[in-house]
Amino acid sequence: MFDKFIDILKGNSWKAIATHIGTMVVIVVGLILLFFFLYLPSTTRHGETVTVPNLLGMSLDEMEEFLKKRDLNYEVSDSGYSTQYPPLAILKQYPLAGSYVKENRKIYLTVKAKQAQSVNMPKLIDGSLKNAELVLKSYGLKRGEIRYKPDLASNAVLEQLYQGIPIDSGVPIQKGSEIDLIVGDGLGRRVFNVPRFIGLPVDEADFLIRASGLNTGSVIVRVIGKEKRIELVELAKELEIDTVKIIESGHVYRQRPEIGNDIRLGQQVDIWVVSLDRKDSLSILEEWLNKTEDESLQEESDEE
């Protein structure tokens, strides 16, 4: 055939040359079309697709049989935690439900762990309630009970509690746990006159301060000398209280803010307490510290 082609060239028959070239082009194009439209589809099963089903919430056993019937495979690529589904349920899938894939395509799955994962407790205090809810959700934790407390900061988180006990940020805690929040109610904006706490025993003054919607701040115990006693007796006369009580050991002789000044709910009141000598001071402080410790234990017991 090649010799014939050479003879044609020698004969300078351009018409014949064009005919043969055209024939060769047709043959090549035909082979290309056969490869792409017949051979390639038959070997790659082109056009045979499967719709990816929705696997969310299914158990692993149920899902395995489900995919086998649809000529699909799977691989567990990750684990997570959710309170919405039972252990070993499907939480996420890729490709997503409704996607079209070839038969035997592998579906990558995220499965709920048998046990809840641990996270470090985030810091919510001093942030807003809305921010606390967003942070808890991002950590896989749930917002529990919200309790309001008189404070100037409206909807600001004052305390974070787990099972009724304050929990510090950074402490490991299981995902899905409920976190209770103590939140400022903004009522601290209400202004009223400071009551009188002078002349009361320190424990009674503390009770009255808290009953007034205020907080006991610093408790300062001071030894009162003779000159100071005379000064306090004069003060007692002005306030029309028993002069003996104002100079008695363990009684309040000064307060800040002073009587009659403006104060808001939730603010602190500092008090100064009479002491007779150094030993008496230590005794008063020890009794005060024991009282505050007992109250903290009692509050924890009541919450349980």
Which parts of the chain register pLDDT below 70?
A: 1-18, 20, 22, 29-30, 33-48, 187-189, 294-304
The predicted-structure confidence for 33-90, as pLDDT tens digits, reads as follows 665 566 555 555 555 678 888 888 888 888 888 888 888 888 888 877 777 788 888 8
pLDDT at 295: 64
| Domain 49-112 in CATH 1.10.300.10 | no
Among the CATH numbers 3.30.10.20, 3.40.190.10, 3.40.640.10, 3.40.630.30, which is that of 118-188? Answer: 3.30.10.20
**What pTM does this model have?**
0.42
Q: Do domains 118-188 and 190-303 have the same CATH topology?
A: yes
pLDDT at 192: 86
Ordered by start, the domain boundaries in the chain are 49-112, 118-188, 190-303
Reduce the secondary structure of the chain to three states and give it as a string.
CHHHHHHHHHCCCHHHHHHHHHHHHHHHHHHHHHHHHHHHHHHHCCCCEEECCCCCCCEHHHHHHHHHCCCCEEEEEEEECCCCCCCCEEEEEECCCCCEEECCCEEEEEEECCCCCEEECCCCCCCEHHHHHHHHHHCCCEEEEEEEECCCCCCEEEEEEECCEECCCCCEEECCCEEEEEEECCHHHCEEECCCCCCCEHHHHHHHHHHCCCEEEEEEEEECCHHHHHHHHHHHHHHCCCHHHHCCCCEEEEEECCCCCEEECCCEEEEEEEECCHHHHHHHHHHHHHHHHHHHHHHHHHHC
pLDDT at 181: 94
The predicted-structure confidence for 137-151, as pLDDT tens digits, reads as follows 999 899 999 988 877
Q: Which fold has domain 190-303?
A: Trypsin Inhibitor V; Chain A (3.30.10)
